[in-house]
């Protein structure tokens, strides 16, 4: 049994979010959700639904952001990461590490920071360990009122 619930989304790093949005809307009928900002990482992103699947576009808002570094290293846009949704990030990390996996980075947002109306907890597996793909483990919980 796996600790992964599902592939939650595929994220594409782009240089021009509006141009990429227009392409996916026009050519694939993508339905975009509101634009969001990840201030501490220097990223603006826009999730979208395409069929029964979710994707997102990522654009750097400053030169030191992970997306800016990715675009520079790669020489242009492309798949930035794949998000695997998990129920419990701590349990998922324990299970992943017990199977020989290695977490490269764990990201914690400031209290009260939400994305898409939920609180996210995240960890990343380095592409060198995952056959060239940045794997994003994400726990999403409803906002506690």
Residue 145, pLDDT > 90, answer: no
CA-based nearest residue to 116, from 8, 23, 19, 27: 8
The reported pLDDT for the residue numbered 2 is: 86
Place of tokens 């009928």: 29
Owner of token pair 């299970």 = 95
Query: Is the pLDDT score of 114 beyond 90?
Result: yes
Pairwise CA distance, residues 121 & 92, whole Å: 11
Residue-wise pLDDT for 74-96, tens only, equals 999 999 999 999 999 999 999 99
pLDDT at 31 over 70: yes
Residues 6+ apart with CB under 8 A from 47: 9, 32, 33, 36, 54, 55, 56, 116
Mean residue pLDDT across the chain: 96
Domain ranges of the chain: 4-142
Q: pLDDT tens across 56-68, in order?
A: 999 999 999 999 9
Rounded to whole angstroms, the Cα distance separating 11 from 136 reads 10
CATH superfamily, domain 4-142, is: 2,3-Dihydroxybiphenyl 1,2-Dioxygenase, domain 1 (3.10.180.10)
Mean predicted confidence (pLDDT) in 99-113? 95
Handedness of CA 71, 55, 17, 138 (dihedral sign): negative
57/16 Cα distance (integer angstroms):
9
Q: What is the pTM of this model?
A: 0.93
């Amino acid at each position: 049994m796996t600790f992964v619930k599902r592939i939650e989304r595929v994220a594409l790093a782009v240089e021009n979010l509006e141009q990429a949005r227009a392409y996916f809307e026009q050519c694939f009928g993508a339905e975009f959700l509101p634009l969001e900002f990840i201030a501490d990482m220097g990223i603006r992103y826009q999730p979208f639904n395409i069929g029964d699947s979710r994707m997102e576009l990522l654009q750097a808002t400053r030169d030191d952001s992970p997306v800016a570094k990715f675009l520079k290293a790669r020489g242009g846009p492309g798949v930035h990461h794949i998000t695997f949704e998990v129920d419990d990030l701590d349990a998922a990390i324990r299970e992943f590490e017990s199977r020989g996996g290695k977490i490269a980075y764990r990201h914690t947002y400031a209290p009260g920071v939400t994305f898409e109306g939920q609180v996210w907890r995240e960890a990343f597996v380095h592409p060198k360990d995952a056959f060239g793909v940045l794997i994003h483990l994400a726990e999403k919980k409803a906002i506690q009122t």
